């Protein structure tokens, strides 16, 4: 579970409620019509922009923001180095015996192609094509929330304009101008809130998840290619560590020293 996402949503909502309740009544900031314009309008625009299957899978996309658990890249490198040691000691065909214990289908596919003697260029092409297909699927989920983040403020402004038109038609009653203006501005508030507290942050988190997944897959690709070419396990490790940020390189070095 991604604690940062949950804490961010809860703390953002809590601070907003505290700011409202310290100065006004919460009921002042609730208007069904304004919510319908912003949420309904944003959803309708998303339905126009995306195929229906993308919208039906939105729950799965949101789940990735809260429950996706990324694999430890340091542990993945250690696993690949182990396979390199097996291949160098017993021959690459020996990896066929350990392929059944590997849980990552992407890694299994690469190892199996290497064991089968597939041309190295073909192995890399197939694995890169798989990587690009996964990245494209990730970007579809991200773009859905990016679009909602763009549409929500626009529909907030539309709702405000609708409210102003209604207000201007009733200028004969001065006492109604203030409340009418407040309701008109609520849609702008809802649009900004939906975009900046929900849609755009979730889109950014999905982008982060995608980058993490792409890094792991690139580590697998380069690891398989190094194993297939018969590289020394220490060289394999050094190659794969280049994908790690500095803090993880330090962790990997510390683990090696402890071992």
Provide mean pLDDT across the span 161-188. Answer: 80
- Given its phi and psi angles, is residue 118 left (phi above 0), alpha (psi -120 to 50 degrees) or beta? beta
Q: Kindly report the CA angle at 108 between 106 and 110, in degrees rounded to 5?
A: 70
1 confidence band (pLDDT: 50, 70, 90): low
Q: Is 153 exposed, middle or buried (0-12, 13-18, 19+ CB in 10 A)?
A: buried
Mean residue pLDDT across the chain: 86
**Nearest to 139, CA basis, from 207, 43, 88:** 207
pLDDT at site 15: 92
27 confidence band (pLDDT: 50, 70, 90): confident
Provide mean pLDDT across the span 137-166. Answer: 90
CA distance 128 to 249: 25
Tokens of 223: 């690891």
pLDDT of residue 31 exceeding 80, the answer is: yes
């Amino acid at each position: 579970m991604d604690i940062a996402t949950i804490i961010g949503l809860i703390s953002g909502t809590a601070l907003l409620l505290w700011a409202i309740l310290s100065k006004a009544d919460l009921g002042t900031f609730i208007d069904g019509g304004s919510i319908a314009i912003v949420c309904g309008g944003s959803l309708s625009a998303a339905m126009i922009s995306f195929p229906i299957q993308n919208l039906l899978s939105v729950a799965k996309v949101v789940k990735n923001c809260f429950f996706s658990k990324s694999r430890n890249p340091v542990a993945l490198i250690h696993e690949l180095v182990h396979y390199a040691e097996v291949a160098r000691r017993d021959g690459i065909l020996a990896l066929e015996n350990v392929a059944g214990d590997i849980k990552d289908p992407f890694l299994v596919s690469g190892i199996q192609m290497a064991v089968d003697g597939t041309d190295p260029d073909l192995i890399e092409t197939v694995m890169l094509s798989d990587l690009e297909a996964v990245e494209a699927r990730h970007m579809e989920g991200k773009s859905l929330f990016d679009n909602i983040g763009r549409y929500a403020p626009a529909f907030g402004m539309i709702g405000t304009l609708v409210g102003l038109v209604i207000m201007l038609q009733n200028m004969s009653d001065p006492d109604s101008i203030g409340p009418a203006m407040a309701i008109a501005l609520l849609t702008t508030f809802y649009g900004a809130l939906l975009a900046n507290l929900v849609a755009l942050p979730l889109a950014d988190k999905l982008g982060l998840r995608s980058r993490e997944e792409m890094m792991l897959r690139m580590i697998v690709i380069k690891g398989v290619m190094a194993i297939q070419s018969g590289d020394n396990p220490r060289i394999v490790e050094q190659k794969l560590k280049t994908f790690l940020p500095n803090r993880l390189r330090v962790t990997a070095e510390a683990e090696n020293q402890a071992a």
